[in-house]
Amino acid sequence: MATVSRRKGAAIERLEQLCRKHSLPLTAQRRAVLEALQARLDHPTVDELWEDVRVLIPEVSRTTVYRILETFAQLRIIRKVCHPGAVARYESLTTRHHHLLCIRCGAMTDLQNAVYDKLTLPGADTGFEIEDYSIQFSGLCAECVASEGHSRK
C-alpha cells in the first residue's frame, strides 16, 4: 500500500489553474471548500464539509457548499464518490485509487495497489467507453473487527 501524498500548496495551484481554464472565479468560498476537503482523508459528505467551511465563513449556506462541490466534481477538480443507498462523499484525490468501505461505521479508506490498476477492462464489443474505474472492497474496518471481537467475549 503506497502512501498518498497530498501537498496542499500544489492542490491549490492546480485548482487555480483549472479555474482559470474554465473561467471560474476562485472565490473565497470556493477556496475554503477546497481547503476543507484537502485537509481530510476520510471522504467527507456535504454536511461534514459544510461544518468545516463554516468555521472559516460562518454565513456560508449548505446549498452553496453543495453547489461548489458539484461544480468542482463536474470539472474533475475533485472526485465525487457514490455508492448505492449511501450519501455522496467527496475527495480531493483524483488519481486512480481504490476504496475499503466499512459496512458498519461507514469509514472509507484509500487503497493504492498497482495490481488493481491493471485489470483487463471490458472490450469494445460492449459498446461502452470506459473512462475510469475504482474498486470498492466492503467489509469491516480494523476498529470494527476489534470491537466485534470484544463484544463476543
* Residue numbers at the binding site for Zn ion (CB under 5 A): 91, 102, 104-105, 107, 110, 141, 144
Of residues 31 and 40, the one with the C-beta less far from Zn ion = 40
Angle formed at CA 10 by CA 81 and CA 35, multiple of 5 degrees = 55
Of residues 64 and 109, the one with the C-beta less far from Zn ion = 109
Long-range contact list for 88-94, CB < 8 A, 24+ apart? 88/45, 88/46, 89/43, 89/44, 89/45, 90/37, 90/43, 90/44, 90/45, 90/46, 90/49, 91/37, 91/43, 92/6, 92/11, 92/34, 92/37, 92/38, 93/4, 93/6
Of residues 29 and 34, the one with the C-beta less far from Zn ion = 34
What is the smallest separation between the CB atom of 141 and Zn ion, expressed in angstroms? 3
What is the smallest separation between the CB atom of 19 and Zn ion, expressed in angstroms? 22
What is the smallest separation between the CB atom of 135 and Zn ion, expressed in angstroms? 11
Q: Is 122 helix (H, G, I), strand (E, B) or coil?
A: coil
What is the smallest separation between the CB atom of 45 and Zn ion, expressed in angstroms? 14
Of residues 69 and 141, the one with the C-beta less far from Zn ion = 141
